[in-house]
Structure 1
Amino acid sequence: MKRYLFIGLVSALLLAGCEQKPSLQKYFVENTENKEFVAVDIAPSFINVDKVTLTGEEKAALESFKKINVLAFKADSTNQKEFDAERTKISTILKDKSYQELMKVGSGKEGGAIYFVGEDEHIEEFVLFANKKENGFAVVRVLGEDMNPTHVMNLMSLMQKANVDMEQLKPLQALMQP
């Protein structure tokens, strides 16, 4: 009898310990195969630094960067209700206390915002959320280890001076076309 009680108690604790709240990672996984979305995973190798001399800061930024996940929803006249519903889901997820807002531009209905997960000098994830009713929205997750805002700025600078592998970005071209 004690054995069954023990097994039941452990099972209850395990089930209660599993968080059921939505997260960006779950949202990405759920919508990767959805035909309304374009999903792209970008590896660090898309920044070809073979012929570039890196500064110490750029090396540190590159080493802290693990990958980029992009999930984009292309809006049109036929899917505005779904666009609004999906945008609301993203906004709700980003209101969670684990996502700290770094910067916001535009209004709540159109514009963008940058969030981060972690502590100021030990950031695990940067999130860019941009949306416009006519075009759709995109959520970009920059994943890394011990990143900081300076690393992201150095990474952006590095992308401008290094060769970028555009093949990894091909799926996003459909969003850019009218």
Structure 2
Amino acid sequence: MKRTIQSVLCLLFITTILVSCGDSASLQRYFVDNQESSNFISQDIPISMIKLDKSNFTEEQNDAYNSVKRLNFLAYKTSETDTDIIYKEELATVKTILNDSKYTDLMEFSDKGRKIIVKYIGTDDEADEVVVFGSAKELGFGIVRVLGDDMSPDKMATLFTALQGANVDESQVQDIMNFFK
């Protein structure tokens, strides 16, 4: 009897381990798998390190900005030695991950051949994670995972709109800018 109980418990434990170690693709796994690759750049940026002129922000935009704690950034750069096939494969991988049903569309826009998609994980009232994905065939693509507390999708949408016209000191993101040169 004791041996049967031990066998059942052991089987349950092994089953739990195997189920929890699913092989499904995730954005976090994609970041980890590619952060050391030569065509990628990865940075973890605390929001406190980004100096931004918030004097024109509304109260809602200010609340949204203050709810953000850090940004995880991963970018892929196209190069002359890189084949178009590799770029398309990497792009397809990211798009497949972002097409998962756990991501909800927030906004999408194009500007000068560059496409930006903003999605989030969470409910209509609170986003657990906001993802900004931008791509341009001649440059490559970048993904920003916005992580924080009490982030609202509506407030984040207004914040992203405000950031489009904001003055950002480029010296703060110089490493990222240099990567795409």
Q: Which TM-score band (shorter chain)?
A: 0.7 to 0.9
Give, in whole Å, the separation in 1 of the partners of 2:134 and 2:54: 33
Is it true that 1:150 corresponds to 2:155 in the alignment?
yes
Shift in Å, 1:38: 1.1
Counterpart of 1:85 in structure 2 is: 89
1:9 partner letter: L
Question: Which shifted more, 30-39 or 5-14?
Answer: 5-14
Shift in Å, 1:118: 0.7
Which of 68, 75, 80 aligns to 2:78? It is 75
CA RMSD of aligned residues (A): 3.0
Ranked by relative contact order (alpha carbons within 8 Å, sequence separation 6 or more), the top structure is 1
Shift in Å, 1:116: 1.0
Query: What SS does the corresponding residue of 1:174 show, helix, strand or coil?
Result: helix
Give the structure-2-normalised TM-score.
Answer: 0.79
CA contact under 8 A between 1:117 and 1:126: conserved in structure 2? yes
Change in 2 beyond 3 A, CA 1:39/1:154: same
Structure 1, unaligned runs of 5 or more? none
Change in 2 beyond 3 A, CA 1:96/1:51: closer
Identity %: 31
CA distances 1:25-67 after superposition (whole Å, capped 9, x unpaired): 1111111111100112111112347996987545532431111
Which of 41, 47, 50 aligns to 1:47? It is 50
Counterpart of 1:128 in structure 2 is: 132
Give the structure-1-normalised TM-score.
Answer: 0.80
Is it true that 1:66 corresponds to 2:69 in the alignment?
yes
Structure 2, unaligned runs of 5 or more? none
Counterpart of 1:160 in structure 2 is: 166
CA contact under 8 A between 2:107 and 2:157: conserved in structure 1? no
CA contact under 8 A between 1:39 and 1:72: conserved in structure 2? yes
Query: What SS does the corresponding residue of 1:138 show, helix, strand or coil?
Result: strand
1:60 partner letter: D
Shift in Å, 1:23: 0.8
2:16 partner letter: L
Shift in Å, 1:69: 1.3
CA contact under 8 A between 1:124 and 1:144: conserved in structure 2? yes
Shift in Å, 1:113: 1.3
1:65 partner letter: V
Change in 2 beyond 3 A, CA 1:50/1:77: closer
Is it true that 1:173 corresponds to 2:173 in the alignment?
no
Equivalent residues, number: 173
Query: What SS does the corresponding residue of 1:69 show, helix, strand or coil?
Result: strand
2:101 partner letter: K
Give, in whole Å, the separation in 2 of the partners of 1:53 and 1:173: 25
Counterpart of 1:28 in structure 2 is: 31
1:88 partner letter: A
Change in 2 beyond 3 A, CA 1:124/1:164: farther
Give, in whole Å, the separation in 1 of the partners of 2:45 and 2:53: 18
Query: What SS does the corresponding residue of 2:166 show, helix, strand or coil?
Result: helix
1:138 partner letter: G
